[in-house]
Amino acid sequence: MNVSGEQIRELLEGLKKSENEKEISPKYFYDERGSQLFDKITRLPEYYPTDTEIDIMRSNIDEIVELIGPKASIIEFGAGSSVKVRILLENLRELAAFVPVDISEDHLLAAAEEMRKEFPDVPIHPVAADFTKPFDLPSPEVTPIRNIVFFPGSTIGNFTEDDALELLKVMHHEAGEGGALLIGVDLQKDPKIIEDAYNDSQGVTAEFNRNMLRHLNREFGADFDVSSFKHDARYDEDEGRVVLRLISEKRQAVNIGGEEVTIAKNEGILTEYSHKYTLEGFAAMAAAAGFRVEKVWTDPERLFSVQFLVRD
């Protein structure tokens, strides 16, 4: 990874905030080890979102296929292991193209090559881009009837309300006229279910959180004492979001990019929010971005939702 001056400045800006307001962007979770740990998290018994979303998609795939229609282009924002998109690719008719989009080019191209072997009849056109900003779509040989943006996993919940709205506006733009959005949205529920999902008994989420610092030590030349940080994840019911932090168990001075940052004992560094929505609240935000909710599917316990949104 080539570290830019802008990345260093962004990182330092977050870490120089006043006590207990320090933050590191969650994008630094995902080095190779971080991706492996997150895959492990999705298989933990406490972590309900992944299996629940997959079950919802499989149980309702006929209706999802009918709403999408033939000759669509599926544009997956933040394409990872592409487990969920396989459910679509296995069932959609006359697919015009699959366009996985991710900022990590090496991982993206490797994943796309594997998908080509699995789906030789599907035109696959990977795009390396920061999907939070508008990007150029490829031109497949078969002109799609419509674009369907696919954003599973409730990753939308990792963005602040303002940033989530801006991202939905980008999706509205990329979907184009007649396009739609198929998105996973985690729902508000019993706080214990939520907190257990982020404080698993095996400590995998804690290791995933701390691995962010190992990533920064390796790629940015930082010198965080990783072992002196403890994982902290709490659900703020008033705000409807999980707050993930790393708490320093000692006072330490960290060097990054030739500058020193002091972290006090018991000071927390915000690493991620995970917002949980009501159906009404998400519909209102989607409407502000130009989308109308056409269909919502949930599991029987209403833990999670998969939603189909069309451009107004």
**Do 99 and 242 fall into the same domain?**
no
pLDDT of residue 104: 77
**Do 270 and 212 fall into the same domain?**
yes
CB-based contacts of 293, cutoff 8 Å, min separation 6: 282, 283, 286, 307, 308, 309
Amino acid identity for residue 151 in this structure? F
Residue 113 has pLDDT above 70, yes or no: yes
Confidence tier at 279 by pLDDT (50, 70, 90): very high
Please classify residue 309 by burial: count the beta carbons closer than 10 Å to its beta carbon, then call 0-12 exposed, 13-18 middle and 19+ buried: buried
Tell me which residue of 88, 202, 205, 216 sits closest to 149, measured CA to CA.
88
- Number of domains the chain is built from: 2
**Do 265 and 143 fall into the same domain?**
no
Domain span at residue 146 reads 49-189+277-311
**Do 102 and 156 fall into the same domain?**
yes
pLDDT of residue 175: 97
% of the chain exceeding 70 in pLDDT: 98
User: Taking each helix axis from N to C terminus, what angle separates 204-220 and 32-41, rounded to the nearest 10 degrees?
Assistant: 170
**Do 207 and 283 fall into the same domain?**
no
User: Is residue 42, in this structure, part of any structural domain at all?
Assistant: no
**Do 132 and 196 fall into the same domain?**
no
Interval 219-236 mean pLDDT: 96
**Do 143 and 261 fall into the same domain?**
no
**Do 202 and 68 fall into the same domain?**
no
User: For the whole model, what pTM was predicted?
Assistant: 0.90
Model confidence pLDDT, tens digit, residues 52-92: 999 999 999 999 999 999 999 999 998 766 679 999 999 99
**Do 171 and 203 fall into the same domain?**
no
**Do 162 and 261 fall into the same domain?**
no
Q: What is the dihedral of CA 25, 30, 33, 35, to 10 degrees?
A: 140
**Do 271 and 281 fall into the same domain?**
no
